[in-house]
């Protein structure tokens, strides 16, 4: 099956997710700086979640470059990822509304953890279909970055009950780790293009 519809649908869902998050903002009744300051928690939660959704869009875009075809398992794995991504606006609004209270922060972390697991499952579904010699297999290698993220999310969720500051710092740390451009897939893709051109 062709991958174009999967990509188009995923891009559309991610665009809607970002739109839903920004619609949570209500225009202040006052025209003062203090009125904006009252929204600071919502702004901070929105910025963090916007970065996370942007990271997933970027990684998904690169991931699809390695896909030659899709099957039912890949389609369902992709829908599974989109399901967890679609919960980000809810948890984002909740932590912003309740000033990063511990339980909303814990749920936010659980959603981020499930997103990471869902992305890992999508990668595995592609690897199973495309084989261990595929472009994706060569690109991700041992995937230390992905595995480290899973561990950090689990730690963040567990420590939320004791310190929302540490938990929040871990969420920011993982986002910063992924903000650093991950060129594994892009590098492998370019190498394959050079090899293909050389053999022509």
The answer to whether the CB of 2 falls within 8 A of the CB of 70 is yes
Helix, strand, coil share (%) of the chain residues, nearest 5: 80, 0, 20
The pLDDT value given to residue 142: 75
Confidence band for 160, pLDDT divided at 50, 70 and 90? very high
What average pLDDT does this structure show over 157-177? 94
User: What pLDDT digit, counting tens, does each position of 84-111 carry?
Assistant: 999 999 999 999 988 899 999 999 999 9
The pLDDT value given to residue 194: 45
Domain boundaries, the chain: 4-199
Q: Which distant-in-sequence residues (6+ apart) come within 8 Å of 34 by Cβ?
A: none
pLDDT exceeds 90 at position 16: yes
C-alpha span between 3 and 192 (Å, rounded): 20
User: What pLDDT digit, counting tens, does each position of 111-144 carry?
Assistant: 999 999 999 999 999 988 887 777 787 777 778 8
């Amino acid at each position: 099956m062709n991958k174009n519809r999967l990509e188009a649908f995923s891009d559309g869902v991610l665009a809607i997710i970002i739109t839903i998050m920004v619609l949570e903002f209500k225009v202040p009744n006052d025209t003062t700086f203090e009125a904006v300051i009252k929204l600071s928690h919502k702004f901070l939660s929105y910025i963090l979640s916007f970065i996370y959704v942007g990271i997933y869009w970027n990684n998904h875009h690169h991931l699809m470059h390695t896909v030659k075809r899709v099957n039912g398992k890949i389609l369902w794995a992709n829908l599974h990822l989109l399901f967890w991504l679609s919960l980000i606006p809810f948890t984002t609004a909740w932590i912003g509304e309740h000033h990063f209270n511990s339980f909303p922060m814990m749920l936010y972390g659980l959603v981020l953890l499930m997103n990471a697991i869902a992305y890992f499952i999508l990668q595995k579904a592609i690897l199973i279909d495309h084989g261990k010699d595929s472009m994706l297999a060569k690109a991700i290698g041992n995937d230390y970055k992905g595995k480290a993220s899973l561990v950090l999310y689990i730690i963040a969720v567990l420590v939320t009950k004791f310190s929302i500051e540490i938990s929040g710092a871990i969420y920011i740390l993982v986002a910063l780790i992924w903000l650093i451009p991950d060129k594994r897939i892009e590098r492998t893709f370019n190498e394959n293009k050079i090899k293909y051109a050389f053999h022509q």
